[in-house]
Amino acid sequence: MMLQAGRERFTFALIVLAFVGLLFGAWKVMVVQSDFLQTEGDKRQIRHISLPAARGAILDRRGNVLAMSTPMLSVAVDAKFLSDKPDYQTSLASALKLPIEVVNEKIRANAEKHFIYLKRGLSPEEAKLVERLLLDGVHLVPEFKRYYPSGEIMAHLVGFTNIDDQGIEGIELSYNDWLKGIPGVRKVIRDNLGRVIETVDEIRPAHEGRSLRLSIDRDLQFFAYRALKKAMIEHQAKAAELVLLDVHTGEVLAMVSQPGFNPNDRSLVTANQTRNRVVTDVFEPGSTIKPIVMAGALELGKIKPDEVIDTGKGKYLSNDKVVRDHHGYGQLDLAGILRKSSNIGMVKIVETMSKEEVWRFLHFTGLGQETGIVFPGELTGRLRDPFEWYPVNKTTAAYGYGYNLSLLQLARAYAVLANDGKVVPMSLMALDAPPKSASVFKPEVSRLLLRMMEEVTSTAGTGRKAAIPGYRVAGKTGTTRKANKGYDSDKYRALFVGIAPATAPRFVMAVTVEEPTRGQYYGGDVAAPIFREVMEQTLRLMAVPPDDVSQ
């Protein structure tokens, strides 16, 4: 009996000790190790997920949307979980319209990862199919995708973003920090398959990026795009560019390059197509620079407004360079030199100037300098310092060879003449007030040049196809050979730069067509008609009253 009682006491003691051990263990877990275990549990269940933020909208000067962010869904998977589930992979491939081999390979290559994107930017139908599958380890992730309502019309200017919504071309790139949003952060609890089962806290809400209002007018951009597209087909050209400026503010109202591309579908787009040639390509301006050089000579008093120059029979030797005109024009006044585009007349004018003086006015009107816009890939061109010039460089400078510029720089140089001789920085942003200006020419010199340039668009001038009924137009044509280890004998660039209305200038437009191969290739035949079509629409849309009702 005593033995029996001893065994019972011993058993009871063991039970008590076990219970005490359990209590101690519970106390240790709940008190001593509580923080550690909580942290370890959180590591396995609580996650901080990023909340996508939309980029700011890009607007034209009137508030029309040029770029916007639209919500979309992407599909992400737990590759480690799905690596040994071929039936899951087959179902996903079918829903996403992907080859099963592509899905297999992507999951196999990332078999140790718990999160990979399988496909970005799903269509609504694809998203519904994936959602209906109810597969563990498969998640629909909210994101934003950039959409460009104007498509090809604004493509070179606005640019585009990559799959991660970061700007990589155009305005999207140069103003990426301004446009991009600030992602939010949310604390959630996930199960062992990575599914969100509860939101714990929203640590930081997502903030949309800031909007940007450009100086561009969507309607004017469309007119320019349509005219260039038509000219490309008509002349079977390699490329074409156009830029339209507000004379007084320096705002860019339209900027178009061809060939174009669709920023909403870049599957077949090449890097060459995305180049905004208005600012990234440079060329020798040829005869279009003659008004600037002539204005410089007038500003210095090297020639008089009523000067008459003997251009002879069409051939002239200057600094060992034979200079030619298309015909022997004989005696020409200054307006006649521009109207006939006489190289000899311009060379004789430049002979009255030093090379430093010629360089000064090219430089002060913007050649070799930044234009003031902020745009990726912009080139400033090349205008060598005058101490590097040989005597022949001064000769060729008279008619636009030996240095190069962009089409935007050429337009800005003409804007100086149109703005009473004052230069202003160019802007791609809509401005509330005109920027500060600096004087290059006296107002009377600029106005004299405008009157002479009107003769270029008269019936006797090389730019007569730029004339607009009811308006007085000042401008200059140019036809240059393209340089390629020398000058190609059969590759030309047709140019026209014009100002309207000439009596009270509002707009400057520069147009170039590269390598036209069908029909004519002269600036007056190829580029001038484009100017007329677009400027006529511009004057009408902007409600600019006619300044010469007699036409």
Rounded CA-CA distance 468/489 in Å is 33
**CATH 3.40.710.10 intervals, the chain:** 218-541
pLDDT of residue 453: 97
Query: Which residues are CB-neighbours of 305 under 8 A, at least 6 positions away?
Result: 298, 334, 448
Q: Name residue, tokens 């200006």.
A: 437
Task: Report how far apart the first and last C-alpha atoms of the chain are (Å, whole number).
Answer: 137
Closest by alpha carbon to 465, among 416, 403, 526? 526
**What crossing angle do the helices spanning 528-541 and 218-235 adopt, rounded to 10°?**
160
pLDDT of residue 389: 95
Asked if residues 340 and 325 have their Cβ atoms less than 8 Å apart, the reply is yes
Calculate the alpha carbon distances from 359 to 18, 278, 285, 403 in Å: 100, 23, 15, 10
pLDDT of residue 200: 46
Query: Domain 218-541 class?
Result: alpha beta
pLDDT of residue 196: 52
Calculate the alpha carbon distances from 420 to 275, 435, 447, 517 in Å: 33, 15, 7, 38
Residue type, 542: M
pLDDT of residue 37: 45
49-80+115-213 CATH choice from 3.40.50.11740, 3.40.630.30, 3.30.710.10, 3.90.1310.10: 3.90.1310.10
pLDDT of residue 416: 97
pLDDT of residue 222: 97
Calculate the alpha carbon distances from 364 to 59, 251, 412 in Å: 32, 19, 11
pLDDT of residue 77: 85
pLDDT of residue 40: 47
Distance from the Cα of residue 282 to its chain's centroid = 16
**What crossing angle do the helices spanning 290-300 and 443-454 adopt, rounded to 10°?**
140
What parts of the chain have a pLDDT lower than 70? Answer: 1-10, 12-14, 16, 18, 20-50, 185-203, 484-486, 488-489, 548-551
Which residues are marked as active site? 287
pLDDT of residue 189: 59
Q: Which residues of 370-392 are buried (b: 16+ CB within 10 A; e: fewer)?
A: ebbbebbebebbebeebeebeee
pLDDT of residue 402: 93
| 1-39 tens-digit pLDDT | 555 666 666 676 667 676 766 666 565 556 555 555 455
| 151-202 tens-digit pLDDT | 999 999 999 999 888 999 999 999 999 999 887 765 555 555 555 544 444 5
